[in-house]
Each structure stands twice: as structure tokens, then as C-alpha cells.
């Protein structure tokens, strides 16, 4: 009987997804908050996609970081995060009130003129979500810096969650600074999506 109970315990441990989940969501099929988004107009990049938000609590100082992960492949799994997500709280835009606005960044492409910085602004209003995806022209130096941070994240994510958290914050900071300088000269396009939680 004791052997049987031990076997059942080990078997339940092996099939419990929460126990086997990656602390930073990599390879998981679901994370803390999962979004499906559909374009409201002609989006040149992607008409439908999914992504998720994952929260990680530091064992070192108890601080929390929220970051975004992209869902990719078949079967769909979350891949490496690239950016911290900042919640700017409630705000009013063009006389519309929103409960929250979440900002994150990622890069697209390898070399200018085909290299871009993407700024995602997720707006929450009641139980509705709207994603404004702003595409900005990137520079060779910024693209190289962000690519190096992504490479470091890939190296560290299974070994040091604390260092990975710091890298995600660095990615956000560099992207945010770049996005606020001369936006009119960098702006390339904006795509709008409606998103649902699943």
C-alpha cells in the first residue's frame, strides 16, 4: 500500500502543470494573464496573435516584475520574454477613460531600414482590452543593444531569474528612452487590436 501511495504521489507531481511550470513562463501554454488579439483594421504585420503577462517575485528583495511573453508555434507555447511591462494605472485619452494602460516593447527585424521598435500600449476599459501597437524606425545601435539583451535573457532565463528580471528592466528602459525622443521622426505606423482574456 505504501508503494502504491508513493507511486500515485509521484505520478500526480509529474502531471501537475503548476508544479512543472517555468517560473518565467517559457515553454508554458498558459501564464498569469493570456490575451488573444484581432486587428480592427488592415494591420500590415499580423492580423491575429496571442501573448501573455507573467509576474515574477524576486526571492532577493520581494519586489515584483510584470513582463510580456509571445505565444508561438504548434502546439502554441510561450517563448522568451523581451520587456518588462509597466502599468501606468487609470488615465484619460481623447476624453475616453481607461482603467489601466500597460506599456511594453520589443524589436522587429535585423537591420535598418527593416529594423523597428514596437511599443505596445494595452488599454483596459471594464472587461474590454484594446492594444495600440506603434511601429517606430530603429537605429543600428539600438537594434544591436536590444538584440544583445535578448541573447543574454536566453542565456540566463534557466539559471538566474534575478538577472533575467534585471535584463527585462534594462530592455524596457532603453526602449522607453529611445521611443520618447523625436517620435515624429521615428513613427512608421500604428495598428489597433481588440483583445480578450482566455
Residue 111: domain span: 19-197
Tell me, yes or no, whether 161 lies in a domain: yes
Query: For residue 193, which of 140, 106, 147, 129 has the smallest C-alpha distance?
Result: 129
Cα maximum dimension of the chain? 72
The C-alpha cell of 71 is what?
Answer: 505565444
pLDDT number for residue 112: 83
Tell me, yes or no, whether 39 lies in a domain: yes
Total residue count of the chain as it appears in this document: 198
| CA–CA dist 192, 177 (Å, integer) | 23
Tell me, yes or no, whether 14 lies in a domain: no
Tell me, yes or no, whether 8 lies in a domain: no
Q: What is the pLDDT of residues 95-112, one digit of tens each?
A: 999 999 999 999 999 888
Tell me, yes or no, whether 119 lies in a domain: yes
Q: Please, what is the average pLDDT of the chain?
A: 89
CA distances from 179 to 39, 63, 93, 164 (A): 23, 26, 19, 22
Tell me, yes or no, whether 156 lies in a domain: yes
Number of domains the chain is built from: 1
> Which of helix, strand or coil describes residue 126?
coil
Torsions phi, psi for 191 (to 5 deg): -120, 145
> Do the Cβ atoms of 157 and 164 come closer than 8 Å?
yes
Q: What is the pLDDT of residues 11-57, one digit of tens each?
A: 444 444 445 688 999 999 999 999 999 998 765 667 889 999 999 99
> Do the Cβ atoms of 69 and 84 come closer than 8 Å?
no
| CA–CA dist 26, 93 (Å, integer) | 34
Residue located via cell numbers 515553454: 27
Tell me, yes or no, whether 50 lies in a domain: yes
Q: What is the pLDDT of residues 110-149, one digit of tens each?
A: 888 889 999 999 999 999 999 999 999 999 999 999 999 9
114: CB partners within 8 A, 6+ apart: none
Tell me, yes or no, whether 7 lies in a domain: no
Amino acid at each position: 500500500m505504501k508503494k502504491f501511495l508513493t507511486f500515485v504521489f509521484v505520478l500526480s507531481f509529474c502531471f501537475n502543470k503548476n508544479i512543472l511550470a517555468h517560473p518565467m513562463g517559457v515553454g508554458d501554454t498558459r501564464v498569469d494573464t493570456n490575451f488573444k488579439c484581432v486587428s480592427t483594421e488592415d494591420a500590415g504585420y499580423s492580423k491575429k496573435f496571442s501573448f501573455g503577462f507573467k509576474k515574477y517575485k524576486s526571492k532577493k528583495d520581494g519586489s515584483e516584475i510584470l513582463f510580456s511573453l509571445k505565444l508561438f508555434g504548434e502546439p502554441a507555447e510561450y517563448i522568451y520574454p523581451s520587456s518588462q511591462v509597466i502599468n501606468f494605472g487609470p488615465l484619460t485619452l481623447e476624453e475616453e477613460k481607461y482603467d489601466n494602460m500597460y506599456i511594453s516593447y520589443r524589436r522587429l527585424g535585423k537591420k535598418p531600414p527593416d529594423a523597428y521598435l514596437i511599443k505596445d500600449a494595452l488599454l483596459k476599459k471594464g472587461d474590454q482590452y484594446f492594444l495600440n501597437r506603434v511601429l517606430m524606425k530603429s537605429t543600428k545601435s539600438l537594434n544591436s543593444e536590444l538584440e544583445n539583451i535578448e541573447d543574454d535573457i536566453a542565456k540566463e532565463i534557466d539559471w538566474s531569474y534575478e538577472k533575467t528580471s534585471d535584463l527585462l528592466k534594462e530592455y524596457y528602459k532603453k526602449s522607453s528612452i529611445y521611443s520618447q525622443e523625436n517620435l515624429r521622426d521615428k513613427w512608421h505606423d500604428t495598428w489597433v487590436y481588440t483583445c480578450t482574456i482566455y
